[in-house]
Amino acid sequence: MEIYLDNCATTKVCPEAAEAAMKAMVEDYGNPSSLHRMGLRAERILTGTRKAAAALLGCDYGCIYLTGGATDSNNIAIQGAVRARARMGKTIVTTTVEHPSVGETVSMLEKSGYTVKRVAPRANGQFDPEDFLEAVDADTVLLTFMMVNNELGTILPYEKVVPALKKRFPDLLIHIDGVQGFTKLPFHPERLGVDLFSFSGHKLYAPKGIGGLYIRKGLRILPVEYGGGQEKAIRPGTEAVPAIAGLGAALTMIKAHQSEIMRNYRERQNQVRSLVKEIPGVVINSPENGCPHIINLSVPGIPSEVMLHALEEKSVYVSSGSACSKGALSGVLKAFHLPDERIRSALRVSFSRETTGEEIEAFAQALKEVTDRLGAVVNG
C-alpha cells in the first residue's frame, strides 16, 4: 500500500478532472481564439473554469485569470502591481516566511530599487497583526503575503490585517498567495478588500501547470509577458485548455464536497497528534490553530532526509523541511524561531481528501519503527 502524505507538494488528480482534461484533448481540442465553432467550444471550457473558481471565492467570474500555476500568478500579481503603482511609492511589505515565488520576486524588486520590509513571526511562532500595520506606510505600494504557511500550516492574520490597512490606505494594493489556503479556509476577497489572490491547480486535485489569479474588478495591472492578448493581455499565450478543464472539474468537485473534505483533514490531523504522542522523541512543530491539512513534526537527532527515505522504504511519502545534504537549514522554519535541531529533523505530513484513518495508523506505526531503528544507529 502506498501512503501518500505529501499533498502540500502536489495531489493526485481527481477522476473528474482527469476525464475533463482528456475530453478537452481529444474532443474539444480547438483553439479558444479561433472564430469557428471548435474555438467556441474551447472558450466555453475557460468560462466554465472561471465560474467554478468564482463560485468558491464569491466573486464575478470576470475577475478570474487563468495562469500557468501559482508561481506564474504570484509573479504577475507582484510585478504587475508595482509597475501599475510605479509613481505612487517605492516600498513593498511582505513577510519572512514566503514561498520563493513571492520571496524571490520581491528580492528582485529590492535589488532594482524598492524598499522591502519583511514582517516576522513573534517568538511564539505567530504573526501579530499590529506588526503589519506598523510596517505599511504611505510610501507602500504593495503588501504581499501568504494565506497559510506551506511548511507549518500557520494561518496568517489576513482577516484582521487586510480590512484595517485598506481603511488607512485605500490605494495600497494587497496580494495574498492563497496556494495552501484556498478552499481550505473561508475566503472572500471582495469582502476583505484583497486586490490580488493567487492559487494553484495541482494542490487541489487538478493537473500540474495550471493556476489562477483573482484581480479585483476595475484594477489594472501591467503584464509581465506580452503576446496575443489572451486573458485580457495579462497572461498571453494559447490557453492550456486541457489543464484548465481539469481545474474547473476539480474546483467543482471541491465545492460539492467541501465540508466532508475539511472534516477529513481535521480528523486526520487530530489522529496524527494523538498517535505521535505515544512515540518517544517526536515533537510537533505546527501550531494548534493551524490549517488542518498540514502537520509538521520533528524527531530531533535524525536528519529529515534520512527519516524521509526510511519512511519511503515503507511506502510512506512525506516531505522534509530542508535538504540536509548541504547543511543549509530551512530559512522559513528558522524564521518561525524553531530550534536548529528541530529544523534539521523536520518532516511535513499533509493530507488529501482521500487520506484514511488506516493510512494514518500505518504512518504512525512506520514512524515508530523507523524512529526506533534510526535512533539506535544515530545514538549508538
Partner 1 sequence: MKEIILAKNGEIALKGLNRRRFEEVLMRNIKWRLRDFGKVKISCMQSTIYIDPEDSEFYDFDGAIEALRHVFGIASISRAIVLQKDMEDILEHVCDYIENALFDAKTFKVEAKRSDKQFPLKSPEIAAQVGGKILSRFHRLKVDVHNPDITVMVEIRDKGAYIHAGSIPGAGGMPVSSSGEAMILISGGIDSPVAAYMMAKRGLSLSAVHFQSPPYTSERALEKVETLCEKLTPYTGRIQFYCVPFTEMQEALKAHCPEELFTVMMRRMMMRVATRLAQQKEIEALITGESLAQVASQTLEALHCTDSATPLVVLRPLIGMDKGEIIKISREIGTFETSILPYEDCCTVFTPRHPATHPKLSALEKAEAMFDYGPLIDRAVEGTELKPITG
Regarding 108 and contact with partner 1 (CB under 8 A), the answer is: no
Name the segment binding partner 1 (CB under 8 A); options: 5-13, 22-30, 142-150, 317-325. Answer: 317-325
Of positions 305, 331, 334, 369, contacts partner 1 by CB under 8 A: 305
Name the segment binding partner 1 (CB under 8 A); options: 37-45, 72-80, 222-230, 308-316. Answer: 308-316
Q: 10 Å Cβ neighbour count for 153?
A: 25
CA distance 144 to 178: 11
Burial group, residue 120, by CB count within 10 angstroms (0-12, 13-18, 19+) = middle
Name the segment binding partner 1 (CB under 8 A); options: 146-154, 244-252, 272-280, 370-378. Answer: 370-378
Instruction: Collect all residues with Cβ–Cβ distance below 8 Å to 82 and sequence separation of at least 6.
Output: 92, 109, 114, 141, 142
Q: Is 8 a catalytic residue?
A: no
Q: Which is nearer to partner 1, 284 or 306 (CB)?
A: 306
Regarding 380 and contact with partner 1 (CB under 8 A), the answer is: yes
The single residue of 59, 63, 291, 324 carrying the catalytic annotation is 324
Least Å distance, CB 365 to partner 1, is 17
Of positions 303, 318, 345, 363, contacts partner 1 by CB under 8 A: 303
Closest CA to 348 of 289, 301, 273, 286: 286
**In a 3-state reduction of DSSP, which class is residue 57?**
helix
Regarding 361 and contact with partner 1 (CB under 8 A), the answer is: no
As a whole number of angstroms, the longest Cα–Cα distance in the chain is 72
CA distance 61 to 217: 10
User: What's the half-sphere exposure (Cβ side, CA atoms, 13 Å) at 292?
Assistant: 20
Of positions 106, 143, 308, 332, contacts partner 1 by CB under 8 A: 308
Return the DSSP state at 259: H
Q: Which is nearer to partner 1, 170 or 327 (CB)?
A: 327
Regarding 92 and contact with partner 1 (CB under 8 A), the answer is: no
Regarding 312 and contact with partner 1 (CB under 8 A), the answer is: yes
Return the DSSP state at 214: E
Q: Are strands 3-4 and 64-67 parallel, antiparallel or unpaired?
A: unpaired
Q: Is residue 24 within 8 Å of 45, Cβ to Cβ?
A: yes
Regarding 276 and contact with partner 1 (CB under 8 A), the answer is: no
Regarding 123 and contact with partner 1 (CB under 8 A), the answer is: no
Q: Which is nearer to partner 1, 259 or 325 (CB)?
A: 325
Of positions 233, 309, 340, 358, contacts partner 1 by CB under 8 A: 309
For 91, the grid coordinates are: 516600498
Least Å distance, CB 313 to partner 1, is 6
Chain residues in the site for partner 1 (CB under 8 A): 303, 305-313, 323-327, 374, 377-378, 380
Residue positions annotated with a catalytic role? 324
